Structure 1
C-alpha cells in the first residue's frame, strides 16, 4: 500500500468529491426535468420516472464489475475511463431524438457512471494515507448524497434559462475535464494484481460466503435505503401543507446540506474510535433521530431537523463500513467494495417501494419503521466489524 502524506491528498479528495456530485447526480437530475421532457416527447410526466429506473439498474450492475477491474487494472485507470465514458454518454443523452432513444441512452449513461464509485473507494483504501481515509470516504459519500439535492436544483435552474437539454450539455465537458485532472493528479494504484479479469470476477461469489462481510453488506443496505424512503414518504404522504408547496418541500430536503459539509471534518476526530463504535453510534443516531421526529411528524421544522440528524449518522457510519469491508478482504478489496457499492444503491432503489408499502401507516409509521431498520443495520454492522481492526 502506498504511503501518501495527508497534504497532497486534498486535491485528490476535492476532485473525487466534485466528480461524485456530477456523476452520481446524473441519477437524480432528470427528476427536476420531468415536466419539460414530457412536453418535448409528448408523454405523460409520470412516464418519465422510468428514466431514473433504467439508469439505476445498469449503474448497480456496472458497479459489481468495477471493483474486480480495479483489482486487476488499478483503481486510477477505471476511474479515468469511467469519467471519460460518462462525459460522452451524458453528452449523447442531451441530443436524444425521441423517448425510446432517451430510455436506451439513459441506460447506457447509468452503465458508464456505475464504474465510478467502487474504484474510488478502492483507491481511498489502498492509495491514500490512513490518516485521511475516513475523511475522504465521508466527503465522497456526502457528495453523492448532496447530488440528489444539488443536481435537481441545477437542472431546475438551467431548464428555465436554457432548456432541459443543456442540463446534460453543460456537465458533459466538466466531467471530461475531471477525467483529465484525475489522470494527472491520482497516483498509479499500488494494489493492482497480476491476474486475469475473469479470476477477479470469480472472487465475487466467494466474498458472499463470508458471514462477516454479509453482515456489513446488511448494514450498508440500510444506509441509503432508509434515507430515500423518508424522502419518498415526504413526497407521497408528508404533511399536506408541505406537499402543496414545492419550495418548502425542496428546502426540507436541502436542510441536510450543511450537515453534509460539516460531518467529514467531524469524522477526522472520530477516526480514533473503533469501526464498531462508529457504525453503532452513526446508525444509532440516525435511528434515534427519526424515532424522535415521529413524535412531531406533522411539523416542518421537526422533519427538517430529523432528516439532517439522520444524514449525519449515515455519514458517520458509512466510511467505517467501507473500511471494514476493505479490511475483511485485503486481497480482493476492489471486489468487496464493489458489492458494497451495489448494496447501497440497491437500498436506494428499494427505498421508494418501502415508503409506498408503508403508506397506510402514514409518516409516523414510516419514520418508526425506518428507525427500526437503521437500528437493525447498526447491529449488523457491529457483528460484521467485530474482529476487523482499524487501519
Structure 2
C-alpha cells in the first residue's frame, strides 16, 4: 500500500470539508436574493434590509483574527467542531428572529461562529493530507469557498424566499457536518519548539517574512477586483448594454480553474500560480474597461479564471512559508485581508462608477498588477520559517 497516497479517510475528509465550506461561506451571500423579503417581513426599507448581509460579513472578517490563532493553540479539529456547533445554533437563532435589531445581532453572532471554519479547515488540509496532494486539497477548498457565492444565491432564489425557512433548513446540515468530521478529521496536535516556533507564532514573526506580507496585501486586491467588476456592472450595465444575468453565468464555469491550480502549483510553485491569477484578473479588468458587451462577457470569464488561480495560489504561498505553530494565524490574516477587499469594493464602485468604466476597473487592474509585482519581490527573500 502507498502510504503517501490518499486514503478513504482523506477522501471523506475532503468531501465533508468541501460541503461544509459551501454551507458556511454561503451564509455571506444567502441573504442577497432575500433583501426584499426581509424588508417586507421586518417593515424596513431595502437599504436597511441589506444590513443583514453586512452584519454577518463584518463579524465574519473580524472573527478570522480571533479564531485563526486559537486553532494553532487548541487544534484544528477541536476548533472546526466548535465552530460548526456554534453555527448550527446561531443559524437557528437567525431563523427565530422576530425583530430587525435581533436579526442583525443574530447574523453577527452567526458570522463570528462561521469565521472559525475557513482558516482551521485550510490549515487542516495543509497538515493532514500527504504532501503531494496538498495543492489539490487547497484547490478543492478554494473552489468550495468561491463557488459558495453563486450556489447560495441560487438556493435562496429557488426557495420560497422566507428567511426563517431557509435558516431552519440549513441549521441541521452544520450539525451533520460536525458529526462527520468528528470521525474523519485527525485529532493529532502539533507541539511547537520552545523558542523558534513560539517566536514564529507571534505576529511579529510573520511580519518579518516579506513573502507572507506580500501575499496578505495581494489578497486584498483579489476580491476587491472581483466584487468591483460585478458591482460596477450593476451600475454601468445599462450603459454597456450587457445582460447582468448572462454576465454572472459566464463567470461560473471558469471558477473550475481552481483545479488547474493544483498541477500548476506542483510543477511551478505556489507563487507562480498566484501571480498568474493576479495578472489574468488584471488583464480581465483592462478588457472590461473597453465597456462593450463582448468585452464585458470576456472579462467576466477571464476574471473568474484569474481569481480561481490566485486564491489557491496565495493560500499555498502563505501555508508554505509558515509552520504548524503559526499557520492558523497566518491564514486567518489572509482570510481577513481577502474579505476586507470584498467589503470595500461596493463603496469604491459607487464612488467611481459615475466616472465611467475606465476609472473604475483600471484602478483595480493596476492594484492587481502591483500585487503581482510585490509578490515577486517578497518571495525573493527567504522565509524565516524555512530551513536555511
Q: Deviations over 1:173-202 (max 9, x none)?
A: 11111111111111224435599xxx8997
Q: CA deviation at 1:363?
A: 2.3
Q: Deviations over 1:35-81 (max 9, x none)?
A: 01111111111111211221112111211122211111111111111
Instruction: Determine if the alignment matches structure 1 residue 168 to structure 2 residue 167.
Output: yes
Assess, with a 3 A threshold, how the Cα gap between structure 1 residues 4 and 110 changes in structure 2: closer, same or farther.
farther
Question: Where does structure 2 lack aligned partners over 5 or more consecutive residues?
Answer: none
Partner of 1:134: 135
Secondary structure of 1:136's aligned partner: helix
Partner of 1:310: 303
Matches for 1:252-267 after TM superposition, within 5 Å? 252-260=247-255, 262-267=256-261
Assess, with a 3 A threshold, how the Cα gap between structure 1 residues 139 and 219 changes in structure 2: closer, same or farther.
same
Task: Give 1:273's match in structure 2, choosing from 247, 256, 268.
Answer: 268
Instruction: Determine if the alignment matches structure 1 residue 228 to structure 2 residue 230.
Output: no
Instruction: Determine if the alignment matches structure 1 residue 76 to structure 2 residue 70.
Output: no
Q: Deviations over 1:12-31 (max 9, x none)?
A: 22221221111111111111
Determine the C-alpha separation between the residues in 2 that align with 1:61 and 1:201.
22
Secondary structure of 2:267's aligned partner: coil
- Relative to the length of structure 2, the TM-score reads 0.90
| Residues 61 and 342, structure 1, Cα contact 8 Å, conserved in 2 | yes
| Residues 142 and 258, structure 2, Cα contact 8 Å, conserved in 1 | no
- Relative to the length of structure 1, the TM-score reads 0.89
My pick for the range that moved more, 183-192 or 62-71, is 183-192
Determine the C-alpha separation between the residues in 2 that align with 1:189 and 1:304.
47
Partner of 1:291: 286
Partner of 2:337: 343
Question: Where does structure 1 lack aligned partners over 5 or more consecutive residues?
Answer: none
| Residues 229 and 352, structure 1, Cα contact 8 Å, conserved in 2 | yes
Structure 1 runs of 4+ with >6 Å offset: 199-202
My pick for the range that moved more, 33-42 or 47-56, is 47-56
Assess, with a 3 A threshold, how the Cα gap between structure 1 residues 251 and 187 changes in structure 2: closer, same or farther.
farther
Secondary structure of 1:159's aligned partner: coil
Partner of 2:48: 47
Determine the C-alpha separation between the residues in 2 that align with 1:5 and 1:210.
32
Assess, with a 3 A threshold, how the Cα gap between structure 1 residues 189 and 59 changes in structure 2: closer, same or farther.
farther
| Residues 73 and 193, structure 1, Cα contact 8 Å, conserved in 2 | no
Determine the C-alpha separation between the residues in 2 that align with 1:140 and 1:287.
23
| Residues 126 and 134, structure 2, Cα contact 8 Å, conserved in 1 | yes
Determine the C-alpha separation between the residues in 1 that align with 2:69 and 2:373.
28
Partner of 1:90: 91
Partner of 1:370: 364
Secondary structure of 1:60's aligned partner: helix
Assess, with a 3 A threshold, how the Cα gap between structure 1 residues 11 and 202 changes in structure 2: closer, same or farther.
closer
Determine the C-alpha separation between the residues in 1 that align with 2:28 and 2:199.
28
Partner of 2:126: 125
| Residues 83 and 114, structure 2, Cα contact 8 Å, conserved in 1 | yes
Determine the C-alpha separation between the residues in 2 that align with 1:201 and 1:154.
42
Q: CA deviation at 1:110?
A: 0.6
Secondary structure of 2:96's aligned partner: coil
| Residues 92 and 167, structure 2, Cα contact 8 Å, conserved in 1 | yes
